[in-house]
């Protein structure tokens, strides 16, 4: 194939709105989005869009038109859930809630950033807190509490191991544990593949050098 074909011919096929992800959208109650008039009020007032490549309207439109690549777009994690767009949409679309549902679908498809995954899997699931003060590395936070006359640990899950169990029980019951396990496996697999690919590359380079 000619290089120019590769370089310049960009055929775009407009997918129907009935794709798998669009269907997931509808199942998640996102069909409300069909009332969107693409006015751009959401993007126009978005504090995140002012400094990043995240475009509220475009992201939702891509999802609605079945563009699955939106799930891998890191931009969807740049919404600070400030609800400005939600309040102002002239069509009454709960925009922020839509973004949150879109993220849910992304996670379900395994697209979750490493730090977010660690936070869910290694911190929240294990301790019941998103920002814990127990455990070894956190002595200074307990000291800080005491310096203000508070007990070293708060009377939350930190003081109640049985409460942590309760939370974990619930997370299993709603399927979060399974989801985390699925993602963990996927992440490991991806990591292995990436390592393999890296190794192959080095191997190839070596061979090339040897040839020369």
Partner 1 sequence: MTESDKKINITENDKPKIGIYVCHCGVNIGGVVSVPDLVEYAKTLTDVTVGHDYKFLCSDVGQKMIKEDIEAGLINRVVVAACSPRMHEPTFRITCKEAGLNQFLFEMANIREHSTWVHMKEPEGAYEVAKDLIRLAIAKARELEPLTVQKVNVEPTSLIIGAGITGMNAALNLSSAGYKVYLVERSATIGGHMAQLDKTFPTMDCSSCILTPKMSEISRDKNIELLTYSEVTEVTGYVGNFEVTIKKKPHYVDQEKCNGCGICVDPCPITVANEFDLGLSTRKAIYVPFPQAIPSQYTIDMDSCVECGICARETVCEPGAIKYDDKPEYFTVKVGTIIVATGYDEYDPSELKQYGYGKYPNVITGLQMERLLSSFGPVLGKPVKPSDLKDPHSIAFLQCVGSRNFREGGNKYCSRVCCMYATKQARQYKEKHPDADIYIFYMDIRAFGKGYEEFYESAGRDYGINYVRGRIAEVRENPLNHNIIIRAEDTLLQQPIELEVELFILSTGIEPRADSDSITNLLRIQKSADGFFLEAHPKLRPVDTLTEGIFIAGVSQGPKDIPDSVAQAKGAAASAIALMAKGEVEIEPFFAVVHSDRCSGCGMCIENCAYGALELVDDRRFGTIASINKALCKGCGACSGNCRCSAIDIIGFSSEQLYSMITKRE
Partner 2 sequence: MSKNSKWKYGFFLGCVAPNRYPMIEASIRAVFDHLGAEILELEGASCCPAPGVFRAFHIPTWLVIAARNLTIAEELGIDVVTGCNGCYGTLRDAWVELNHEPELKKMINEHLAKIGREFKGSIEPKHVVQVLYQDLGIEYLRGFVKHKFKDLKVAVHYGCHIIKPSDKRPWGGEYEDPTFLDEIIEITGAKSINYKDKFQCCGAGGAVRTAVKEISADFSREKLENIRDAGADIIIDCCPFCHLQLDLGQMEANNFYKDIIGEPYKIPVIYVTQLLGLAFGIDPNLLGLMKNHDLQQVPPFISLEPFLEKVKNQLT
Planar angle of CA 33, 68, 193, nearest 5 degrees: 150
| Contact map string, positions 75 to 114, toward partner 1, x by CB under 8 A | ---------xx--xxxxx----------------------
Q: Is 52 in the site for ligand SF4 (CB under 6 A)?
A: no
CA separation for the pair 127, 76 (Å, rounded):
27
Q: Is 95 in the site for ligand SF4 (CB under 6 A)?
A: yes
Applying CB under 8 A, among 25, 30, 36, 43 the residue interacting with partner 1 is 43
Nearest CA among 85, 82, 23, 34 for reference residue 56:
85
Using CB under 8 A, which of the segments 54-62, 102-110, 137-145, 176-184 binds partner 1? 54-62
Considering the complex, state which of residue 49 and residue 132 has its C-beta at the smaller distance from ligand SF4: 49
Cα-based distances in Å from 54 to 22, 31, 42, 44:
20, 22, 11, 11
Look-up of token digits 């003081």: 159
Cα-based distances in Å from 136 to 58, 140, 163:
45, 10, 20
Considering the complex, state which of residue 92 and residue 115 has its C-beta at the smaller distance from partner 1: 92
Contact 56, 9 (CB under 8 A): no
| Residue 58 interaction partner, one of partner 2, ligand SF4, partner 1, none, beta carbon < 5-8 Å per kind | partner 1
Q: Please, what is the minimum distance in Å from the beta carbon of residue 192 to partner 2?
A: 24
Using CB under 8 A, which of the segments 59-67, 80-88, 188-196, 198-206 binds partner 2? 80-88
Using CB under 8 A, which of the segments 3-11, 57-65, 127-135, 198-206 binds partner 2? 127-135
Nearest CA among 81, 80, 94, 107 for reference residue 36:
94
CA separation for the pair 193, 8 (Å, rounded):
31
List residues near partner 1 by CB under 8 A: 35, 37-46, 49-50, 55, 57-58, 84-85, 88-92
List residues near ligand SF4 by CB under 6 A: 36-42, 45-48, 56-57, 79-85, 89-91, 93, 95-96, 99
């Amino acid at each position: 194939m000619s290089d120019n074909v590769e370089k310049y011919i960009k055929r775009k096929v407009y997918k129907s709105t009935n794709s798998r992800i669009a269907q997931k959208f509808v199942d998640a109650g996102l069909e409300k989005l069909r009332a969107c008039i693409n006015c751009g009020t959401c993007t126009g007032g978005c504090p995140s869009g002012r400094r990043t490549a995240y475009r509220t309207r475009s992201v939702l439109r891509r999802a609605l038109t079945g563009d699955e690549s939106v799930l891998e777009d890191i931009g969807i994690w740049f919404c600070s859930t400030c609800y400005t767009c939600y309040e102002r949409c002239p069509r009454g679309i709960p925009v922020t809630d839509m973004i949150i549902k879109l993220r849910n679908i992304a996670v379900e498809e395994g697209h979750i950033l490493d730090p977010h995954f660690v936070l869910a899997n290694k911190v929240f699931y294990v301790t019941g807190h998103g920002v814990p003060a127990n455990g070894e590395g956190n002595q200074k936070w307990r000291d800080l509490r005491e310096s203000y006359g508070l007990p070293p640990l708060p009377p939350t899950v930190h003081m109640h191991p049985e409460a942590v169990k309760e939370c974990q029980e619930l997370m299993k019951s709603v399927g979060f544990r399974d989801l985390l396990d699925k993602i963990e496996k996927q992440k490991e697999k991806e990591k292995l593949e990436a390592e393999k690919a890296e190794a192959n590359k080095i191997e190839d380079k070596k061979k090339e050098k040897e040839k020369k």
